[in-house]
Amino acid sequence: MISRRLLRIKVLKILFAHIKSGNQSQLAAEKELAYSIKKTYDLYHYILLLIIDIADYAKNRIEIGKHKYLPTSEEKNPNTKFIDNTVIELFKRNKTLQSYIEQGKLNWDDAELIKKIFNNMSNSEYYKEYMQNPKRSFAEDKKLLCQILEKEIEDLDYIYTLLEEKNIYWIDDLGFVLSMAIKTIKKFKANQDNYTELLPLYKDENDEKFAIRLFRRVLADYVKTEAIIDEYTKNWDLERIAFMDTLILQMTLAEVREFPEIPINISIDEYIEISKYFSSPTSSAFVNGVADKIITQEIKEKTIIKNDENISE
């Protein structure tokens, strides 16, 4: 399931492009937002496909070794524990995954990526330990795949170049999507059927509507909120306040106003973290300080009304 954090980031990037362009319609921007979220779900399936591709690459290497003119003893009697991994077999048989891959015509089409990951994995201690253990279990098979996703993908520079070529929205998605893939592996059971569902795109209906409601509320309040921000930043060096900082602040205020069920501290903390990644080192202090003052005043004026119950995300 795509996280609220990632949905906020999607909204932020689409808002930035929409406001800066000055000539894109709101409808077009909303379609772009929906498209960017859909592409994240594509990447989730790509990562699961990557596991299958790595196993297929390993199997092909074994077959090539067997058919050498003078194969070594190891090549004659290869260790097939990885290519026989029971979780990989479940992925290969899973109708939901295979249908999505076929309908979307998903394929990595990059032998170099598969080779790099396989070579790095083969030289790792966790992989050697797995392969040398004569015993096998479903839990051990799951653990290996989780280790591959945790250790071999996110820090591989080559994959970012490839992702950027495939889709501009994927650069910031990889870490989130890897966590989705790991959750998928962990929830798999040895006796599940071929029609077992994967993780859905959204946790529930509220999450499905979250991004578009947030996007629309920012734009609906934009001029009014801009004036309020100007009023509360008179003591700040305005030339040093980046547009991204004010946009993140706009989103913070819009979320607090639009979603009474989300505790204020959760909304502020989320945007503080986002500002650390997408703006300057001083941005978090700006977002925190100004948002707190504006929200406190709007609560006093009852223009912001929050639910008493502390619903977390």
Inter-residue contact 236 to 283 (CB < 8 Å): no
Closest CA to 61 of 75, 43, 41: 75
* Whole-angstrom distance, CA of residue 160 vs CA of residue 165: 9
- E strands, the chain, are none
Domain boundaries, the chain: 4-187, 205-300
> How many alpha carbons fall within 13 Å on the CB side of residue 39?
18
Reading the chain (313 residues) residue by residue, the pLDDT tens digits are: 899 999 999 999 999 999 998 888 999 999 999 999 999 999 999 999 999 999 999 999 999 988 888 888 887 889 999 999 999 999 999 999 999 999 999 999 999 999 999 999 999 999 999 999 999 999 999 999 999 999 999 999 999 999 989 888 888 899 999 999 999 999 999 999 999 999 999 999 999 999 999 999 999 999 999 999 999 988 776 556 788 999 999 999 999 999 999 999 999 999 999 999 988 888 899 999 999 999 999 999 888 877 654 434 4
Supply the pTM of this predicted model. 0.90
User: Fold for domain 205-300?
Assistant: N-utilizing Substance Protein B Homolog; Chain A (1.10.940)
Rounded-to-integer distance, Cα 45 and Cα 102, Å: 11
